Structure 1
Amino acid sequence: MWYEILPSYAIMTVAMAIPGYAMYFMNKAVLGNPYKREMRYRWDRHLYMRDGRLTDGRPYEAPGLEAIPD
């Protein structure tokens, strides 16, 4: 019957979801932030370095309006 495919479907769904969740926790453990920035292009690296410079070395913590000097 049709319901015989449900165990296989569940196994495949879990197997496909594991890498996504694993990367979330690995980035959280290694970088301290669950979301990884891609540094593939020069512009992305430039923005990453700019963010680090604006936030005193913490590029993942975006500053608000209070960070702009008067």
Structure 2
Amino acid sequence: MSQTRPRMTNLFEQLGLDSSEEGIQTFIENHQMDASMSITQAPFWTDAQRQFLSEKIQSDGEWATVVDQLNESLHEDSVE
């Protein structure tokens, strides 16, 4: 079992993305999604990233909370 503590920086590292504070902020600003789109449906993920996110959501563990935080951040500008 992984000893990596689930945090946004660790999530970005696991996804192979820039995990610096600036990198995370830039990614979120540049990848806002429509309200109706699920985080795992977003076209900017690779298949591996999509699978990782899906597994973490389904696990309903500590990682699911961090993925949910990212999901909320990616929907900040959306309007239903």
TM range, normalised to the smaller chain?
A: under 0.3
Which one has a bigger Cα radius of gyration? 1
